[in-house]
Structure 1
Amino acid sequence: MRKSLLKPAAFFLSLILSFPVTSLAAGSDPALEKEIQRIAAAAQGKVGIAAVVIETGKTVSLNGDDRFPMQSVYKMPIGMAVLRAVDQGRLKLDQKVPVTKADYVGERQHSPLRDAHPNGTETTVRELLRYNVLESDGSACDVLLRLIGGGPAVTAYLEQNGVKGVRVINTEKEIGSAEDVQYRNWATPNEALALLKLLHQGGSLSAESRKLMLKLMTDTQTGLKRIRGLLPPGTAVAHKTGTSQTVNGVTAATNDIGIVTLPDGRHLAIAVFVSDARAGSEQREKVIAEISKAVWDAWI
């Protein structure tokens, strides 16, 4: 992790500076902004949040232009880039793809695909997408990255579609090789909203591809105590989480971004990133859930 490279004095200074909640966007809801500040302090780290009601443009953000490591949140834009390649005819959902043992991420990284087929397998692009998004599988993610030309190809796809503040650079295997690599794959909360709006509005994907991506994100069982944790039962949430390892008591990333369908049919896009936090796992997830609930309560 980057902080391990700092001298002790610099480390403690950076840790102290990460705690205060600064850079709140100006808005018309000071009560909501104050509540977000209060909730975020419990993370004992840096929190970035951006939320918008897509149909009305009502927005709130905290540290919205700062960079946060995405971890597995980056599997969402990777999935979208793959589906764009499908729409363009460069890939087919039913095409067979060989997966070898060399494609598998390390044992400390999450990979149901590797666990189910330790000696390798052959599967389809559709199944790799399911593993990548719904199960947050690192090995499937790396195979898909290989098929579409790597992280820079994903970043180029995003920039071509107006998403300027999301960077996909490394494979999952590379991210797992050293703690500081994850910081190269970052997003700002405000640009995470741009990514969510791109998916919602379908500007870069066919109707069929958009529907598949949203279904995978809605069906995912990761992060059930994050954005959706305190929302009313049955609320539709299409989301993607990201979580790092905890090293020396500090967790680099506990994230969730998604599109929430509101009771009146409108859509709330929300991105919450908790970075370099000393709070425990339960508390970090609670911060995300409480911020999401605070926005819901204020706007619904």
Structure 2
Amino acid sequence: MNEFDKNNHLSFLKTLLTMRILRVYLIALFLVVGLNVNICAQRVDYLQPTLQGIVDKYQATIGFSVLDLENEKTYSVNGDMHLPMQSVYKFHLGLAVLSQVDQRKLSLDQKILIKKSDLLPDTWSPLRDKYPNGGVKIPLSELISFTVGQSDNNGCDILFRLLGGPSKVQTYIFSLGVQNIAIVATEEEMHKDEKVQFTNWATPNCSVQLLNLFYKRKVLSEKSHAFLWKVMTESTSGPKKIKGLLPPSTSVAHKTGYSGVNKEGVTASSNDIGIVTMPNGRHFAVAAFVSNTKENDKTIDSMIAELSKAAWDQLNN
């Protein structure tokens, strides 16, 4: 074999060796990627039985849905059950009012007269505590902040009257394509008869559907979206519900609801819906409805917190 042939032979061997090394590398790469995908799939797929196991531990009617807002996959237990909303519907009311702002029928700066007669005494109302004698005009933005951020019942009914009643809010929500919901009674009507609270209901699945529309900015203008998002993330309501077991710095844009405990010791409704921001930059929507239980408030909050933490653990990967 002459020198030329030797060089060609060596070159051929080097090429063959390189191709074999490359082949082994690619096979290893595909195996690693496939393993990681499979592990992630197993982690996410494990969420459904985890949620069911948590729900089964408690003596309560629990409806819970979580929606991964990046891939729009939903996990739920009793996700299509009709459950009373209580003050959760103030989020829906806020959307309806701000849609009117976006249409320039209302303005966040416009002044709303708060009359003494608007400030009912036997109901939760930080608005009444700040303006006990009424007779003041406050910006619409402040009224929304009281209603959605602090769950003010008097503020809620003032906004309902501004729009023309609960049916107007329901019609607006229907127009967004969200159907499994009923908004028919004011806070004053619910306080007069505890049975009325069950006429305002939603399903957990439709609740995360609405949160998804809000998150994807398909509902409000950028300005209105930012305003409502700020109000909901700064809300101090229900700190032990969705937020209860999450890292303290976690951002959650949410709205709670609570019926109180009746004379039989039954809590008809204790809820929280919201959008959770994870450290990896991803988000998920949660709708937690607890109904018809004699468990105490601390235990009810822990139900919601445990379910929300399960979603966090599976999706924050």
User: TM class by shorter-chain length?
Assistant: 0.7 to 0.9
Check 1:106–1:178 CA distance in 2 against 1; reply closer, same or farther (3 A cut).
Answer: farther
Alignment of 1:116 with 2:150, yes or no, is no
Alpha-carbon shift at residue 175 of structure 1 (Å): 1.1
Q: Does 1:297 find its partner at 2:313?
A: yes
Q: Structure 2 CA distance, aligned partners of 1:191 and 1:178?
A: 26
3-state SS of 2:292 partner:
strand
What is the rounded CA distance, in whole Å, between the counterparts of 2:289 and 2:229 in structure 1?
A: 21
Task: From the CA coordinates, give the structure whose radius of gyration is larger.
Answer: 2
Query: How far 1:30 sits from its partner (Å)?
Result: 6.1
Alignment of 1:2-81 (within 5 A): 31-81=46-96
Structure 2: gaps of 5 or more residues: 1-41
What's the counterpart of residue 212 of structure 2? 197
CA gap 1:235/1:28 in 2 versus in 1, 3 angstroms: closer
CA–CA distance in 2 between the matches of 1:35 and 1:239?
23
Deviation at 1:203, TM superposition (A): 1.2
TM-score by length of 2: 0.83
Question: Which secondary structure state, in structure 2, belongs to the residue aligned with residue 98 of structure 1?
Answer: strand
Alignment equivalent of 2:105, drawn from 90, 98, 111: 90
TM-score by length of 1: 0.88
Query: How far has the Cα of 1:136 moved from its partner?
Result: 0.5
Question: Which of 168, 173, 178 is the equivalent residue of 2:193?
Answer: 178
Contact between 1:71 and 1:244, CA under 8 Å: does it hold in 2?
Answer: yes
Can you give the 5+ residue segments of structure 1 that lack an aligned partner in the other structure? 1-26
Measured in 1, the distance between the counterparts of 2:148 and 2:110 equals: 18
Specify the code of the residue in structure 2 equivalent to 1:219: E
Secondary structure of 2:181's partner? coil
Identity %: 45
How many matched pairs? 273
Whether 2:258 is the aligned partner of 1:243: answer yes
1:157 is displaced (CA, Å) by 0.6
Is the CA contact (8 Å cut-off) linking 1:42 and 1:279 kept in structure 2?
A: no
Which segments of structure 1 move beyond 4 Å, counting only runs of 4 or more?
Answer: 27-30
Describe the shift of the 1:273–1:212 C-alpha distance in structure 2 as closer, same or farther (beyond 3 A): same
8 Å CA contact retained: 1:43, 1:278: no
Q: Kindly indicate whether the alpha-carbon contact (under 8 Å) linking 2:44 and 2:315 is maintained by their aligned counterparts in 1.
A: no
Matches for 1:140-159 after TM superposition, within 5 Å:
140-159=155-174
Indicate how the Cα distance of structure 1 residues 238 and 222 shifts in structure 2: closer, same or farther if over 3 A, else same.
same
Q: CA deviation at 1:233?
A: 2.2
The one-letter amino acid of 2:193's match is A
